[in-house]
Every structure is written in C-alpha cells, then in structure tokens.
Amino acid sequence: MTTELRVPPASEWDAWFTCVELAFGGVPTAPESREMYDALARPDRAIGHWDGSAWVGTAGAHAFRMSVPGGAAVPAAGVTMVGVAATHRRQGLLRSMMRRQLEDVRAWGEPLAVLTASEPSIYGRFGYGAATGELNLRIDSSRVGLSLPPGTEEVRIRYASPAGALDACEAVYARLAAGRPGTPLRQPGWERLPVNDPEGGRAGGSPLQCVLAERDGEVTGYATFHVRPSWDGPRPQGTVAVRDLAALDPASYAALWRFLFGIDLTSVVECRNRPVDDAVLRLVSDVRRCEVRVWDGLYVRLVDLPAALEARRYRAPVDVVLEVEDGFCPWNAGRWRLTADEKGAASCRRSEDPADLSVSVRELGAAYLGGVSLTTLAAAGLVGEHRPGAVAQASLAFSWDVEPWCPHGF
C-alpha cells in the first residue's frame, strides 16, 4: 500500500506523536515530558508518512543554533523523533523522509543538520558523520582520589532546588557554549530540558538534586544528579548518577567533583555523556577504576557545504581543493576550493582545479567540529590524497584544541 509523505496538520499532532512512541516500543511518554516535547516541537517542520488511516512514519526537526570551532552559532536542524511503524519497515520510508527533510533544511537556509542516533549504523548512508564522542564513566569513588587545584577550598558548594537555581545554571551553560563546538545554544523554552525529571527517568534514584559552586557569592558552576541508595548487606554502596556538571574555572570544577565523590552512603559516581577531553580524567588518581567507555555522540550533516565550511574557523592556514562525493544531496557534490587565512577565516568556492583530496560528505561531517582528524580518516581509507602533504595540511586546519561535545540529546 502506498503512503503519502506530508506535514502533519496541528489537528493530527497527537496521532503523529503516537506513531513516534510506537516506533520506540510503545511505552507512553510521561505526562510532564510529553508536555515539554509538545512545547518544544515544531510541527510545522515535521513530516511523516500517512497510510490513509494512520501515521506510519515520522521525522521532526528542531531549529537550533549550534556552536562550531571559533565560536559562531550556526543554524542547524536538530533531527529528532524519527520512526517508522514496524508494519512498514524496510520499505524505504525512512529514506524518503531523509531526502525530503534535507531538501527542507536547505530551503530553510540552515547549513547543518545534526542528530543523536538510536543506532550508529543508520545515518551514515544519508551523509551524517559521527562528529563527537561521549564518555560514560562508572567511578569507584571509594577508591579513586582527586587532585585538587589551588583555590578549591575557597569554593562553597551549596544545595539549591533545580528549578530555583535554573537561571544561575543556564548562565553558566551560556558562558561555556561558544567555547565547546557541538553545543546547542538554548532556544526559548529549552531551559526546561535540564530540569525535566519524570519518575521513570530516575532509574530508582532520588528526584533530581542540584548543587551550586560559588565564590564570593557568584555562581561559578553547578551539578545536577540523582542518588540511588543501595546496600550490600550492612554496607552502604549507593550510586551518584550525574546528569549535568559544568563550571567556569578549574577550582569550581574540582570542588563539584569532590562533593559528588564524597556524598555519604555512596561508593560509585556514574556519568552518562561527558566530553571526551573531560578534565576530570586528569584529576582522578586511578583512571582504571573509572571504567571509561566511549560512545558516538552527535552526527553532523553538511547540508549547505560552502556555507557550513565558511561558518567555522580553522586552526591553521589552508588551501586545498576537495573533491566531494554526496550522492544524497547532489548540490554539494563536486570540487570545492577551501582556503583559510592566518586568523582561521575561510572561503569555500567551486573550483575547476585538480583535486588535492577526495572525501565523502559523511567524512567531512565527522571532521567538521574538529573532533575527528582527516589523517585518521585517511588512514582508514576514507580520504584520498592526490597531492602529497594535502591530508596533513587539511587535517591540521580542521583540528581544534577543545573536543566537540553535545551535552544533551534532543
């Protein structure tokens, strides 16, 4: 049976959302989360497949601005709520939605599309490259110590209600965002996300708790977390599950970690999604007892290739002709000359000159935020070099001194 690909009218939003839930297993969304998603979603930017009586495919796109190397906030479609009903899988519905969505994103004038994937193997074929990683840690806080930088003792840690402290936490988030490529800048309404706390998301832990780091009465950092009590017979072995932690200076940063390591009746600090270069790994006395695992994070798709490549800064001057393969968005395919000056400002123009490098748009997406090196991609056979030295030159230019990171899903 054929289906129709269209934008869901407002009157069908609930039915469209039910299709999303069904694709993800049919567990109803908690009412407070549902209310938040409804407030944040952009039905006018959503699409789906209608089979005549029900929605059987869905794909949404938030309107973000995301920081890129150099600190610019680049418009990016935040692809979300992608699902196809189990009755209609592997018939090309996702492919058709991805094609339509990328055409829409281009028409909206957004150079990038970004997403976090339910499974890493899905989106490469549509030109998305894994551009950031995330660390998952399970730290034996009863055995692992922390070295503390000067000034840690001057930082005061105090409890605050997550909602009451929200403005202060958001101010810290906003100050850090430009310096961390891959961070979505908060759009109106999105400040609800860090304090959304449905019971089902606590994994048996406490309601969300918050502490602020302060120096001279100024908020210099925050941590939000759940505590999951547990006992091994008479011995307490609770877990601190960290949700967010951010600070404006090293002493505040260390003080927050020290607080989390020292919470009574706990012996494990667990974190999902920390940056790959998280400084905490330089503070701990025993990295082996931190059980570090690296996952894929944000996937980046260059939708308007020259606009995207010109929006970021480069770490070193470069002059390179790229032969780009992009079967899914043919407007990006072909030869482009990318040049960047000593300040890292770039220009990207069509070129008739011989190619120095050949690369697919997926690999350019992976390298775009500076977290995946072109040298590594070349070693994997994913970048072709046609002028000796071109990979090294371009790889240095694309690199960045801070690992990219997306602090939250969407």
Binding site for ligand ACO (CB under 6 A): 23-24, 79-84, 89-95, 115, 117-119, 121-122, 125
**Residue 227 labeled ligand binder:** no
Nearer to ligand ACO, 36 or 79 (CB): 79
**Residue 297 labeled ligand binder:** no
C-alpha to C-alpha distances, 371 to 19, 400, 402, nearest whole angstrom? 35, 7, 8
Say which residue the tokens 């929006």 belong to.
Answer: 311
Quickly count: other Cβ atoms within 10 Å of residue 86's Cβ.
11
Minimum CB–partner distance for residue 23 and ligand ACO (Å): 4
Minimum CB–partner distance for residue 231 and ligand ACO (Å): 37
Return d(Cα 300, Cα 361) in angstroms, integer.
10
> SS3 for 25-68, per residue?
CCCCCCHHHHHHHHHHCCHHHCEEEECCCCEEEEEEEEEEEEEC
**Residue 92 labeled ligand binder:** yes
Minimum CB–partner distance for residue 410 and ligand ACO (Å): 9
Looking from the CA of 336 toward its CB, the CA atoms found within 13 Å total 27
Q: Are 320 and 309 in contact (CB under 8 A)?
A: no
State the first-to-last Cα distance of the chain, in angstroms, to the nearest integer: 32
Q: At 189, list the tokens.
A: 């309404």
Active-site option among 123, 253, 314, 368:
123
Q: If DSSP codes are grouped into helix, strand and coil, which group holds residue 300?
A: strand
Nearer to ligand ACO, 124 or 250 (CB): 124
Active-site option among 126, 299, 398, 410:
410
Minimum CB–partner distance for residue 116 and ligand ACO (Å): 6
Q: In what order do the strands lie in the sheet with 238-247?
A: 156-160, 209-215, 218-228, 238-247, 266-274, 133-140, 293-296
Look up 410 and say whether it is catalytic: yes
Minimum CB–partner distance for residue 115 and ligand ACO (Å): 4
Max CA pair span of the chain: 74
Nearer to ligand ACO, 125 or 293 (CB): 125
Nearer to ligand ACO, 100 or 156 (CB): 100
Return d(Cα 300, Cα 362) in angstroms, integer.
8
Look up 37 and say whether it is catalytic: no
**Residue 192 labeled ligand binder:** no
Return d(Cα 20, Cα 39) in angstroms, integer.
16
Nearer to ligand ACO, 57 or 238 (CB): 57
Nearer to ligand ACO, 94 or 346 (CB): 94
Nearer to ligand ACO, 100 or 138 (CB): 100
- Read off the DSSP letter of residue 284: B
**Residue 93 labeled ligand binder:** yes
The helix/strand count (H/E) of the chain reads as 10, 21
Q: Are 349 and 384 in contact (CB under 8 A)?
A: no
Minimum CB–partner distance for residue 409 and ligand ACO (Å): 9
**Residue 282 labeled ligand binder:** no
Q: Are 182 and 406 in contact (CB under 8 A)?
A: yes
Paired strand residues for 236: 231
CA angle 218, 221, 227 (to 5 degrees): 130
Minimum CB–partner distance for residue 48 and ligand ACO (Å): 12
Quickly count: other Cβ atoms within 10 Å of residue 317's Cβ.
15
**Residue 96 labeled ligand binder:** no
**Which residues belong to the annotated binding site for acetyl-CoA?**
82-84, 90-95, 118-119
Residues annotated catalytic, as ranges: 123, 410
**Which residues belong to the annotated binding site?**
82-84, 90-95, 118-119
